[in-house]
Structure formats: C-alpha cells, structure tokens
Amino acid sequence: MSEKNLLVELFVEELPPRSLKKLGNAFSSALAASLKQQGLAAQDAIVMSYASPRRLALSVKNVSASAEDRSVLQKLMPVKVGLDDKGEPTPALLKKLASLGVDGIPELRRAMDGKAEALYFESVVQGAKLKEGLQSALQDAIEKLPIAKVMTYPNPAGDGWDIVNFVRPAHGLLALHGSEIVPVSALGLMAGNKTRGHRFEAATDTIVIRDADSYEEQMKSEGAVIASFAARRSEIERQLAEAAGKLNLKPIEDEALLDEVTALVERPNVLVGTFDVAFLAVPQECLILTMKANQKYFPLLDAKGKLTNKFLIVSNIRPIDASLVTGGNERVVRPRLADAKFFFDQDRKKPLDARVLGLSKVVYHNKLGSQGERVERVQAIARSIGFQLGGEELARLADRAALLAKADLLTDMVGEFPELQGIMGRYYAKHDGEHDDIAYAIEDHYRPRFAGDELPRNQVGTCVALADKLETLTGLFGIGERPTGDKDPFALRRHALGIIRILIEKELPLELGNLLKDAFGAFPSGLLGYAHSELETFVFERLGGMMREQGYTAQEVDAVLSMRIQNFSDATRRLAAVRVFAVLPEAEALSAANKRVGNILKKAEGDTALRQAQGERAGNAEGERTGIDASLLKEPAESALHQALEDIAPRAEAAFAAGDYTTSLQALASLRSPVDAFFDSVMVNAEDPKLRANRLTLLSRLHHAMNRIADISRLAT
C-alpha cells in the first residue's frame, strides 16, 4: 500500500488576526481527524499545522492512497424475532436483509446481546480512496471552522451568479500526496500544486511546490514566508529579546499581543522606535495600552519595570533602509500618545468627587437603577464589612473609597480605554490628595479580575472589592438574572470566585450568610425577589468546584461543604484535616459507621421515649452533662463506647476549639474498635423505651463528636 506525506493548503485573503491561531488549529485538527477516522492515516500520525495571514495548511505523515478493507459486524435483531420455531428466517429478517442490499440468506452470527441472543450480519466494507476521503475530510474541516462571521463572494468556478460563503475569499487550493496532485475541490477551487508567497518579498509570484515534504522550506526560501504559526511566533520572540537585550531593556510580556502580531506578519522583522520623553509624564498604563491596542507595538521597560521612550515594531518587510519604516511608525504613534496626554491633563482639572453626581445619569441596569444608586448600595455594604474588620476608621475609609470607586468611568481616559477603569481612578485620587489606601482601593476593588489575578493590596480595597461583588451578585440574582448552562453574561461565576478567594486567602473572619444578609439589605425594600438561599447555594457550588480543581476529591469536598460552613477561611483547614483522616486505616469503617448512625438517628426523630427519657434525666448531674444515664448501660459494648467517648471526645473538642482540626479528627480514629463492637453486639431499638432512648442518646453524642469538622459519612464508599 502506497504511503506518502500529504499536504493541503487553502490560500486566502488576509484572515482575521485574532482568530488565525484558532482557525489554523481547527482546520488541521478536523481534517486530520477525518483522515484518521477513515483509516487513511494512522491514529498516531504526525500532523503539522500551518497558518499565516493568507493561508491555512497542514501536512500529515504517511497517508495511504487507499484505506484497508474492514469487516463490519451489524446487529440485525433478536433471534426470537428473526427466526421462527423451526429456525427459518422470518419475514422481518428477510425485510431487514433486503434493506441492506443482501441477496439470499447469508450466514449469520448468533451472540448474546445483554440477556437475549441476537443475530449479526458480517460484511466487508471497502476502504476509502484518498481522493474521496480527502474530499470528504476537506469539506468537513471547512464546515467546522469556528468562523464568527462569513463573507459572501462570487464562486470562482461559477458564472457570476453563484456565491461562496467563507471567512475570507479563497484564491487557491493545494493538495499533494507526495508529489502527486490529489484532484479535490473546495470553495469553487480545484486543487493543484501552486501557491503564492509574501506579497512584496517573494522570489517569484507563483511557487510550484515540488512535494509535500518541501513545502515549509520552499515557502521560506522562495516565498519569504514562515508558514508555521508556532515557528513564526518563536522567531518574533527571539528577535524581540535580541533587540531589547542590545538596549538593556525588556519587552512587555503579552501573550495575546504576541499571537496577534504573529497573525499579522509572514516574514517578521523587529525594529526599534522611539517617542518624545515628555510623554512619559502620562501614566505608563495609558501609554502601554495605546501602543499595544492601537499600534501593536511592544513597549520596552527598564530593569525596574518602568516604561522607557523606546518600543519595538514587528514589521512584515525587510527593507535595505529600515529608517523609513521606523520613522513612519514613530510619526503614527505620536498623535496617539498626544491624545493620551490630552485626556490625562483634562481629566485632572475636575476632582473625582465632583464626578460622583454624574453617575446618577448613567444606567447600570434597567431594573436596578443607575450607577449612582449602585454606588450607594456598595457604600452601605463596604461600611458594614469595614466595621466588622476594623471598626469605625476602616468603615469610614471603605465608605469614601466606595463613593469614588466608579467616578473614573466618567473621565475621558476611561471613555477611550475602558480597560483602564480603576487604574485611572487611583491616579486621579492621588492627584486629588486622597488617602493612599483609598486611592489603591479604587483600583483594587475590581480584583481579582480573572483566575490567578492578585487580590486587593489593603483592607480598604478588600472591603470595597467584596462589597462591589456582593452587590452585583445579590442584585442580579434578585431580579432573576442567573447564569444558565455555559451562559454567564454578567460574569457572576467570576464574581463569586472572587469573593471566595478573598475570604479564604486573606483569612477573613466573615460569614457568608451575614455578608449576603447585608448585601440584600442594601437594596430598597421590594426591589428584589427572595434569592438568599439560591445565591448561597450558587457560591457554595463555586467553592466546591474550586476545591476540586485544587486536587481534593469530590467525597472530601462534599464532606466539608455539606456542613454549610459559613466562614470560608476555615474551609481549607477542614479539608486538609479530612484528607489526613481519609487515609487512616480506621477511616473507612468509621465513615460507614457514621453513615449508619445518621440513618438510625434520622429514623428515630420524634421518638417520644427518647424525649421523655431525656426529660427525666434533666436534674441528674451525669445526665445533664452527657444526656446519658450510666445505669442503663446494660451491655459491655455500650459501656465501652460510652467510656471511650468520655475519654476521647473532650480531647477532640479541645483540638477543635483550638482550630487544630487534623488532631481532632485523628483523636476520633480511636473510636473505631468500640464503635464496631457496639454495632456487633448491641440492639439499639430495644423494646424498653428507656433503654432505647439511652442508646439513641449515646449514638447522638457519638454522631455530634464525629461530625464537628465534616460529615465523615460522606467519605464512605
């Protein structure tokens, strides 16, 4: 069987740069998967993806000219349906065979299908030929491309009336199996062995690809194109580092920008540009953002991370005199930086607190009112949190920071660059003479903005960040705007995770229930529907998901969160203790016993004998302390369990009170033997009501002692 490397390329007009990487990966993976599924390529075949501004391509190693024939076993029907009492084919079987195009009565297999025997027909399916298989794979790959918006243009093979829909107009299709052209078609194009290189620097206008193996080398030498996205990205990184190193500077790190620039050039050439030092008086975040967002430049930082007046340009051409390129880019960037300086200067003429009233004219949500009303709610929540964490002074600072936190939304700079909200608020607050803690809180109240982001730097920022996220969650849950499936337009999952991270990582002594109560209380009466319990469940679900991502098992997480712990800073210590307990040899038996105890006590709820017996012992010192009447402990095993609890429970309780959850759970491991002996030899539901009540009380105390940290019954397999 002939095996050669396969090359396929779609030559198109400039593709959307932000989508190129995704389009290239999707095209190659879908096409290769189809070839593998058809048996034309091995499952472990090496696939190389290519993507440049004007092409999507791939090569697949060792593709067969035709796939091997394969045997297919098809289930027909149960034997009792397909054969009569004499073993002859029934009309149903004959009809089924005819529908499959089978003449006569072939030899059928009989095999068990579940509990019944079934009839199977074995046939040989001819292996796919490369031409037909590639045609199918190519069509499938094109249809599966993640194209946000298609373009419509005349079909190249049509009469002017036919149209084609694709991400960009396609002008060429290349398909080579070794050096042989595979005669497939797509988007109105017939496959050949020709393509085109760089718009300006290719050695020839048309490049004839000799074979699949020479594609990458020919594109580079004849076409002046680095076809591989990964190789081109790596080359840009190398040139950036080299150019910056010569200046003892460092290019700003931005993976998204690097991907976008890689998608804009076919033959990268990194050059150094400069701008007027006077612009460095503008906050560097503004300058960096305008250079990255508008010009796709890489700003250069010094050893201390401070912006310099130099930047790197990734050009798509390599002229003899590079000064024309750098000069042009320097002229283009100047008005951009001048705009940023103008916005900064104008914004500082009006203090932040003078902008607060304007927020009343900015709609936050049509059901929740204006940004001004929202600010008042955030202030109320932030004051409450501040008072709990630091008293009157922290509450005052948190209130002021919350008042100013959204004011920079009305500045010219944030209007031009929304990504700078909070950051510009910090600069303007410091310019206005606000307390440093307030200035940093204005920036930090958006944190954490994404997974792994930093938390607020100070307590004031912590208060306002929690308040802002709580207000968002309660307000939107209260009007029914909850996430559904994979849709979360208001990023409520991210807000919940932000609250969780702040509570846990800053070890705050705040309870979720109280936080939600304060948050709902900040809204006018009647504005929101009741959603307290639903929102609490939502937050707990996010907490559980985060814990599982950290490596805890579903059982361990369930054991802790089923307790509905309100202080999240306590949750990780409980989880760590449960993990240590779960590997003890006694853990499995105690977990199972705890589950059994829980079931017994649940069934005994409302037992009149239990209530009566406990009431009679209310005046007894022993009964008052433990609820257990020692005189009713008839069996040695129940006496032993009672004594073990007397010895172990106080030690476990003391460790629990000290926050040493691991020691507390480990102490309870000693209960395994007396618990096992109790269930082996003691009848809990005795006929004597007093005896039954006493035993249930003993189990109730055992259950309480074992489930102070987590519901360990959830660990039972």
The torsion region of residue 645 among left (phi > 0), alpha (psi -120 to 50) and beta comes to alpha
Q: How far apart are CA 1 and CA 410, in angstroms?
A: 70
Identify the domain boundary among 286, 315, 347.
347
**Mode of pairing for the β-strands spanning 3-12 and 269-274:** unpaired
| Element at 654 (helix H, strand E) | helix 636-657
- Tokens for 571, please give them: 């949750």
Tokens of 415: 């209007």
Boundary (domain end) residue, out of 80, 106, 125? 125
Residues in Cβ contact with 619 at an 8 Å cutoff, skipping those fewer than 6 apart: none
> What's the CATH number where 584 sits?
1.10.730.10
Same domain, 511 and 409: yes
CATH no. for residue 471? 1.10.3210
| Same domain as 524, residue 504 | yes
Instruction: Give the chain's largest Cα–Cα span.
Output: 104
Asked if residue 53 belongs to a domain, the reply is yes
Residue 422 lies inside a defined structural domain of this protein: yes
Same domain, 433 and 538: yes
* Residue 561 located in a structural domain: no
What's the rounded mean pLDDT across residues 103-115?
A: 81
SS3 annotation, 479-527? CCCCCECCECCCCHHHHHHHHHHHHHHCCCCCEHHHHHHHHHHCCCCCC
Specify whether the CB–CB gap between 172 and 188 falls below 8 A.
no
Domain membership of residue 359 (yes or no) is: no
Predicted local confidence at residue 717, as pLDDT: 66
Using alpha carbons only, give the angle 137, 138, 143 rounded to the nearest 5 degrees: 100
Rounded Cα distance between 447 and 442, Å, is 10
Query: What digits encode the pLDDT tens for the residues 483-521?
Result: 988 889 999 999 999 999 999 999 999 999 999 999 999
Separation of alpha carbons 534 and 495, rounded Å? 15
Q: How far apart are CA 134 and CA 132, in angstroms?
A: 6
Tokens of 208: 């004839």
Kindly report, residue by residue over 528-575, the tens digit of the pLDDT: 988 999 999 999 999 999 999 999 999 999 999 988 889 998 888 899
Domain check: are 150 and 42 in the same one?
Answer: yes
- Could you tell me the CATH number of the domain that includes residue 142? 3.30.70
Q: Which of 78-92, 229-243, 687-701 has the highest mean pLDDT?
A: 229-243
CA–CA dist 137, 398 (Å, integer): 60
With bands split at pLDDT 50, 70 and 90, how would you rate the model's confidence at 637? confident
Contact 383, 398 (CB under 8 A): yes
CA distance 365 to 233: 42
Task: Please give the DSSP secondary-structure letter assigned to residue 671.
Answer: G
- Residue for token pair 């229930």: 513
Q: Are residues 690 and 614 in the same domain?
A: yes
Q: What is the pLDDT of residues 411-422, one digit of tens each?
A: 999 999 999 999
Would you state the pLDDT for residue 586? 85
Look at residues 438, 11, 373, 466 and name the one whose alpha carbon lies nearest to residue 197.
Answer: 11
Q: Where are the beta strands (DSSP E) in 85-130?
A: 109-113, 116-125
458 and 546: one domain? yes
HSE-up of residue 486 (Cα within 13 Å, Cβ side): 0
Q: How far is Cα 676 from Cα 645, in angstroms, rounded to an integer?
A: 14
pLDDT at residue 296 tops 50: yes
Asked if 550 contacts 557 with a C-beta cutoff of 8 angstroms, the reply is: no
Q: Is residue 567 part of a domain?
A: no
Higher pLDDT, 145 or 99: 145
593 and 660 housed in the same domain? yes
On the question of pLDDT at 616 being above 50, the answer is: no
Record the tokens describing residue 548, joined without a space.
């599982």
Question: Highest mean pLDDT: which of 100-109, 121-130, 274-283?
Answer: 274-283
In angstroms, the CA 82 to CA 119 distance is 7
Mean pLDDT of all residues in 131-144: 93
What is the reported pLDDT for 614? Answer: 46
Least confident of 49-63, 116-130, 335-349, 483-497: 116-130
How far is the C-alpha of 215 from the C-alpha of 715, rounded, in Å? 58
Whether 404 and 517 map to the same domain: the answer is yes
565 located within any domain: no
Label residue 290 left, alpha or beta by phi (over 0 means left) and psi (-120 to 50 means alpha).
Answer: alpha
Is residue 537 located within the same domain as residue 423?
Answer: yes
Average pLDDT, the chain: 91
Instruction: Please name every residue paired with 180 in a beta bridge, in sequence order, or none if there are none.
Output: 177
Domain, as residue range, for 327: 230-347
Residue type present at position 417: F
d(CA 68, CA 40): 8
- On the question of pLDDT at 47 being above 80, the answer is yes
| 144 shares a domain with 97 | no
Single out the residue in 496, 518, 551 at which a domain terminates: 551
Cα separation, 394 vs 235, in Å, equals: 52
Q: Which residue has the tokens 């307590």?
A: 459
Phi, psi of 128, deg, nearest 5: -70, 145
- 423 and 531 part of one domain: yes
C-alpha distances in angstroms, 670 versus 80, 665, 679, 693? 60, 10, 16, 25
Q: Is residue 354 part of a domain?
A: no
Q: What's this model's pTM, rounded to 2 decimal places? A: 0.81
Q: Please tell me the predicted confidence (pLDDT) of residue 105.
A: 77
In-domain check, residue 556 = no
Q: How many domains does the chain have?
A: 5
**pLDDT at residue 186 tops 60:** yes
- Cβ atoms of residues 495 and 561 within 8 Å: no
Q: What percent of the chain has pLDDT over 90?
A: 65
246, two tokens: 């010569």
* Among candidate residues 552, 491, 539, the one with its CA nearest the CA of residue 511: 539
**Residues 6+ positions from 651 with CB-CB distance below 8 Å:** 667
Residue 294 pLDDT greater than 80, yes or no? yes
Beta carbons within 10 angstroms of residue 341's beta carbon: 17
Cβ of 465: how many Cβ atoms within 10 Å? 25
Predicted local confidence at residue 532, as pLDDT: 93
Q: Is the dihedral of CA 34, 40, 46, 48 positive or negative?
A: negative
pLDDT of residue 607: 56
Provide the CB-side half-sphere exposure for 652 (13 A, CA). 23
Is 254 within 8 Å of 216 (Cβ atoms)? no
Assess whether 49 and 136 both reside in one domain: yes
